[in-house]
Structure 1
Amino acid sequence: MNNFPHTNVTNEDISLVNKQAIPNMDLLVGGFPCQDYSVASSGAKGFYGKKGVLWWDIKEVIEAKWPQFIFLENVDRLLTSPGVNSDQSGRDFGMILRTLSDLGYGVSWKMINAADYGFPQRRRRTFIFAFGKLQV
């Protein structure tokens, strides 16, 4: 708040927010809870989990606001969700990339390990960058 004193901050459930009422933006930065993708969760359900469904709210914000850039973050297991032992390994990650592409965005992604940058722990995160909405 100190750096952005005129920013309206709210703690509302995003699934209940009127997406059209969100201010316009050039950059959407977000992440959705990792519990439904994390290896720490033995019953991870990806998009079909209680928290994994937040991806669809992000999609609704994108469709309402059409930001020029989108930057998303999640755990590395997103790449294989709902699981490497599943016949649908990578389904959720593929769905995110396909959805962004279908919405007219160019998409790039990278998995980054904090340990590769001098941090004392191995903390891998997946970053997705979408850019330049094209006319669809």
Structure 2
Amino acid sequence: MSPDPNAPWTGPAAKDMLATHTLAQEIINRHEDPCPVLGGSELELLRDYVMDASLAHARELLKDRGMIDEDGDGLGLRAQGKNSLIGYCIVRNLDVERRGDAAKGPGFGTALTSEEIDLLKDWFQKGAAEDRIEGWKAGRKECE
């Protein structure tokens, strides 16, 4: 099914998916919904991240999209300003890599575990999201 720009979101809130570590599975399960979890631009960012989740590559992805936080910014402020759930997830994962246990607590910690990254990587390698990504690049309207 193609995304329907007029379809309402019927799934759980992003903060709930992050808190319960169900985001990866929801992305996969709801991919064919009229209003999927992610649109093409976020799917492309997620695909690029999970294919190489190294610190250097993650920083490069954020930098290329103007999502690197500056000194004094709240965690993920730039990603949130661009309405990028995946950018925010990458920032949180980088924060844990950088600060270790100091980055843990309510609203902190990894957004995507290594198991979730592996699950998504396998899903992307099967080509599951390529049509959606290519449709977005071609200008197809998506659910917001």
TM-score, length-scaled by structure 2: 0.28
Greater percentage in helix: 2
Which of structures 1 and 2 has the larger relative contact order (alpha carbons within 8 angstroms, sep 6+)? 2
**Could you say which structure has the larger radius of gyration?**
1
TM-score, length-scaled by structure 1: 0.29
